[in-house]
């Protein structure tokens, strides 16, 4: 049995779901994968829960659940830095779930750098740091023979990078197209059923699918981040956000939807990479696709990605839970695969 | 650069496609994966081409192509056994492509056992030996810390085992359903378009989709083998063929097809595993599925598989080339992943 120390940074919806998941999966991790996951610290903003003896997830969760009920049995220490914490423990895995900030990378960027510097592996659900400095972070990880795994940031429970790197090993990926943002796909599906944009957005917000500020989604940026990260991860390129042509769905003419429906088509926001040799084209486009397109039936909040390859033909993957549990499951998958 | 000796056993359509593929992918294997693939021997029936200095695939192919043109520059040695050959070389990977014999396992079973005994990794496209003695072979491989990889035998270019083991790591697979036999799916699709069974089968044979003796496919056995192998590979179980309830498509009543179409359904031959804890149910069933089924649009020779999981929801994979090149690509993928 291998003991794996975990530092969880970020304790929002995804961080909470992750902690709950590793408690629920404690036995599976031990028996199937030989991993004894121990929580060394939970870090949120300026506070941290630190366990000098890293604890089983269930123990940590107990304290934190008490806390929610106001009993405050979890001892959050104030004003501790990740740097102080990380040096206390035998390196393991930093699980990074702080909110995405794609302008500066946010604190997550410093956390990931620090973790790699101190010989910790990293799994992350945070696109910000990866959008800002993918190459730098990956180089750091490679130099130190560490893993930096990013499924949580690239469509989470929908397998994308795994399929590209493992299942298509030896094949050349000529193109991929993905419906990788649930919010926009939900809105487009609703508009296809007759809603207008603002009603559809409102419904998405009411159902907890879209955020209060939906601009990252509806302006196409979330899809752009994923196309960028997938491309850099699959091809070891160092493309940046400025290399992605980005289109959103806010200015759709309702007539366009009716027209495409008349032709038996559907409007979809596609994140697309296509290449000729080393010449890459990255874009987020609103496109009317027809029934023969492998993603035609990907509706609502569902996601999907299709790869065109030279030797294996087309491989399409569809599905995966689009919620904090799904993201947590993607983080756990990455964590397990570090040690397999 | 890591030199990898390859012994290719079986030189039919798949073996030929594999040799061609590794020639075509020589640069990719070297530059992207750091693997210098060298052919030590090609073995077919009682004959073998043996290279005391293992050769680059291109050199071997040259000789063999000459041979096809009658120049006979390839020196096939007669009456050599794999045992004699295998001991000559530093262990590498045995690529097993002899024809499937699911009654006895055929010579492939002995080849795989021998290879593992002599510390060779194995990638195989041959279902026979795996159906006969999956547990025995896998145990042997595990004891010796070798790889026995079977993508080539489990829907080939359609990723199945990879997705289950890597992409769904930490998730519990509660059920999977696959359309994993191209021939039957082609026939059912044609029958849905109005053909009768024998016309559809004839067309499949004329187009090289179905074999002259199509019974393994149309009686459901090929699907049964794949369900069995997938189950044993994913859950480390030791189920046998007698644990699979098998139905074929030869006795379909045309009225049944019309009836399901009226209801907006399609008849599909599904290979299904479902479980409650350690209680597994394996079956091949002809079933009318409706539009909400993730495999509803998998038509013609296309294949697909859908996994129901506890934490990631449903993940569906569709596509993959259904020909010797696709199988060869699956063998190469497995080979590369042994060393990654």
- State which residue of chain B sits closest to A20, comparing Cα positions: B311
Q: B269-324, pLDDT tens digit by residue?
A: 999 999 998 999 999 999 999 999 999 999 999 999 999 999 999 999 999 988 99
Cross-chain residue pair B317–A315, CB shorter than 8 Å: yes
| pLDDT at residue B249, rounded to an integer | 96
| pLDDT at residue B71, rounded to an integer | 60
Q: Is A226 known to be catalytic?
A: yes
The answer to whether B315 contacts chain A (CB < 8 Å) is yes
Q: Is the ipTM of this complex over 0.85?
A: yes
| pLDDT at residue B302, rounded to an integer | 96
The answer to whether A336 contacts chain B (CB < 8 Å) is yes
Domain ranges of chain B: 2-157+324-339, 161-318
> Who's near B3: CB < 8 A, 6+ residues apart?
B36, B38, B54
- Give Dmax (Cα) for chain B: 64
Nearest to residue B160, comparing CAs of B246, B240, B244, B229? B229
The answer to whether B105 contacts chain A (CB < 8 Å) is no
Q: B243-271, pLDDT tens digit by residue?
A: 999 999 998 888 888 899 999 999 999 99
The answer to whether A19 contacts chain B (CB < 8 Å) is no
Do residues A38 and A55 lie in contact, with contact meaning Cβ atoms separated by under 8 Å?
A: yes
Q: A183-220, pLDDT tens digit by residue?
A: 999 999 999 999 999 999 999 999 989 888 899 999 99
Chain A residues close to B176, C-beta within 8 Å? none
- Mean of pLDDT values over A136-159: 97
Examine the pLDDT at B79 and tell me if it is beyond 90: no
Mutate to test the interface with A, among B169, B172, B175, B293 (most CBs of A within 10 A): B169
How many of the other CB atoms lie within 10 Å of CB of B3? 11
Nearest to residue B330, comparing CAs of B79, B99, B154, B137? B154
3-state secondary structure of A262: helix
Fold category of B161-318 in CATH: Dihydrodipicolinate Reductase; domain 2 (3.30.360)
- Mean of pLDDT values over A299-310: 97
Is residue B47 classed exposed, middle or buried when 0-12, 13-18 and 19+ CB atoms within 10 A define those classes? middle
DSSP state of A164: I
- Mean of pLDDT values over A68-96: 85
Examine the pLDDT at B69 and tell me if it is beyond 60: no
Q: A98-132, pLDDT tens digit by residue?
A: 998 888 888 999 999 999 999 999 999 999 999 99
Written as six digits, the tokens of B283 are: 């079956």
The answer to whether B57 contacts chain A (CB < 8 Å) is no
Examine the pLDDT at A66 and tell me if it is beyond 80: no
Selecting among A25, A63, A226, A239, the annotated active-site residue is A226
Cross-chain residue pair A313–B320, CB shorter than 8 Å: yes
User: Which of B21, B172, B317 shows the shortest C-beta gap to A311?
Assistant: B21
How far, in Å, CA of B68 to CA of B65, rounded?
5
How far, in Å, CA of A159 to CA of A155, rounded?
7
Q: B131-186, pLDDT tens digit by residue?
A: 999 999 999 999 999 999 999 999 999 999 999 999 999 999 999 999 999 999 99
Examine the pLDDT at A9 and tell me if it is beyond 90: yes
Do residues B80 and B105 lie in contact, with contact meaning Cβ atoms separated by under 8 Å?
A: no
- Mean of pLDDT values over B63-77: 71
Examine the pLDDT at B72 and tell me if it is beyond 70: no
| pLDDT at residue A147, rounded to an integer | 98
> Who's near B322: CB < 8 A, 6+ residues apart?
B156, B157, B182, B209, B301, B302, B303
Architecture of domain A2-157+324-339: 3-Layer(aba) Sandwich (3.40)
Distance from CA of B318 to the nearest CA of A (A): 5
- State which residue of chain B sits closest to A316, comparing Cα positions: B318
| pLDDT at residue B168, rounded to an integer | 98
Pairing of strands B93-96, B121-124: parallel
| pLDDT at residue A45, rounded to an integer | 82
Confidence grade of residue B236 (pLDDT, cut at 50, 70, 90): very high
For chain B, give the mean pLDDT. Answer: 94
Written as six digits, the tokens of B166 are: 């890597």
The answer to whether B285 contacts chain A (CB < 8 Å) is no
Examine the pLDDT at B66 and tell me if it is beyond 80: no
| pLDDT at residue B70, rounded to an integer | 57
Nearest to residue A99, comparing CAs of A222, A10, A7, A17? A10
The answer to whether A1 contacts chain B (CB < 8 Å) is no
The answer to whether A227 contacts chain B (CB < 8 Å) is no
How many of the other CB atoms lie within 10 Å of CB of B327? 26
Residues of B with catalytic annotation?
226
Chain B residues close to A297, C-beta within 8 Å? 297
Written as six digits, the tokens of A323 are: 């919620």
- Mean of pLDDT values over A11-17: 95
- The beta-strand segments (E) located in A277-331 are 279-289, 304-309, 314-319
Distance from CA of A146 to the nearest CA of B (A): 14
Cross-chain residue pair B159–A315, CB shorter than 8 Å: yes
Could you give phi then psi for residue B145, rounded to 5 degrees?
60, 35
Distances (CA, A) of B37 to A260, B4, B149, B152, B335: 50, 5, 17, 19, 10
| pLDDT at residue B141, rounded to an integer | 98
- State which residue of chain A sits closest to B331, comparing Cα positions: A170
Chain B residues close to A318, C-beta within 8 Å? 294, 315-318
- The beta-strand segments (E) located in B63-162 are 93-96, 121-124, 148-149
Cross-chain residue pair B33–A326, CB shorter than 8 Å: no
For chain A, give the mean pLDDT. Answer: 94
Examine the pLDDT at B68 and tell me if it is beyond 80: no
Nearest to residue A222, comparing CAs of A161, A268, A269, A189? A269
Cross-chain residue pair A329–B166, CB shorter than 8 Å: no
Cross-chain residue pair A167–B171, CB shorter than 8 Å: no
Chain B residues close to A332, C-beta within 8 Å? 169-170, 311
User: Which of A169, A294, A325 shows the shortest C-beta gap to B318?
Assistant: A294
């Amino acid at each position: 049995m291998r003991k794996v120390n975990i530092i969880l940074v970020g304790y929002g919806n995804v961080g909470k779901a992750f902690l709950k998941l590793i408690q629920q999966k404690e036995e599976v991790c031990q028996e199937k994968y030989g991993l004894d996951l121990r929580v060394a610290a939970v870090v949120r903003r300026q506070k941290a829960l630190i366990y000098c003896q890293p604890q089983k997830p269930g123990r940590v969760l107990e304290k934190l659940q008490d806390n929610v009920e106001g009993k405050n049995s979890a001892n959050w220490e104030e004003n501790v830095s990740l740097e102080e914490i990380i040096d206390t423990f035998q390196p393991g895995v930093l699980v990074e779930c702080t909110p995405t900030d794609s302008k500066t990378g946010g604190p997550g960027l410093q956390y990931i750098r620090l973790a790699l510097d101190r010989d910790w592996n990293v799994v992350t659900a945070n696109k910000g740091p990866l959008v800002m400095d993918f190459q730098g972070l990956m180089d750091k990880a490679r130099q130190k023979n560490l893993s930096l795994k990013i499924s949580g940031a690239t469509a989470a429970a929908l397998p994308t990078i795994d399929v590209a790197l493992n299942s298509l090993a030896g094949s050349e990926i000529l193109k991929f197209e993905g419906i990788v943002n649930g919010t926009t796909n939900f809105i487009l599906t609703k508009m296809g059923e007759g809603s207008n944009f603002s009603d559809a957005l409102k419904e998405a917000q009411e159902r907890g699918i879209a955020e209060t500020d939906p601009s990252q989604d509806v302006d196409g940026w979330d899809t752009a981040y994923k196309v960028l990260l997938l491309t850099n991860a699959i091809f070891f390129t160092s493309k940046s956000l400025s290399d992605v042509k980005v289109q959103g769905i806010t200015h759709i003419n309702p007539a366009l939807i009716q027209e495409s429906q008349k032709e038996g088509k559907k409007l979809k926001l596609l994140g697309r990479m296509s290449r000729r040799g080393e010449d890459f084209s990255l874009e987020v486009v609103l496109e009317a696709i027809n029934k023969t397109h492998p993603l035609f039936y990907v509706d609502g909040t569902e996601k999907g990605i299709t790869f065109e390859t030279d030797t294996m033909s087309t491989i399409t993957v569809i599905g995966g839970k689009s919620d904090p549990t799904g993201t947590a499951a993607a983080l756990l998958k990455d964590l397990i695969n570090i040690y397999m």
